[in-house]
Amino acid sequence: MFSETTLAEELYSVELLRANARVASFLRWMRKQRGAAFRVRRARERA
């Protein structure tokens, strides 16, 4: 959604991210998603 440069220079805190119109729109959509399971994928530990 944003480049690394934009994140580093303009959206470097949670408050700034939440204030951004695109992020706020996405967060509103996420709150409406009932019962959806979101998984965090992690790399398997290597021996």
* pLDDT for 47 beyond 70: no
All residues at 6 or more sequence positions from 26 whose CB lies less than 8 Å from its CB, including other chains: 1
To the question of pTM greater than 0.75 for the whole model, the response is no
For the ranges 5-14, 19-28, 31-40, the lowest mean pLDDT is seen at: 31-40
**DSSP H helical ranges for the chain:** 4-9, 14-19, 21-32
- Helix count and strand count (H, E) for the chain: 3, 0
The pLDDT of 9-21, averaged and rounded, is 93
**pLDDT tier for residue 33 given thresholds of 50, 70 and 90:** confident
Question: Tell me, what DSSP letter sits at residue 20?
Answer: S
Tokens of 32: 């409406």
- CA angle at 25 for the pair 22 and 28, rounded to the nearest 5°: 150
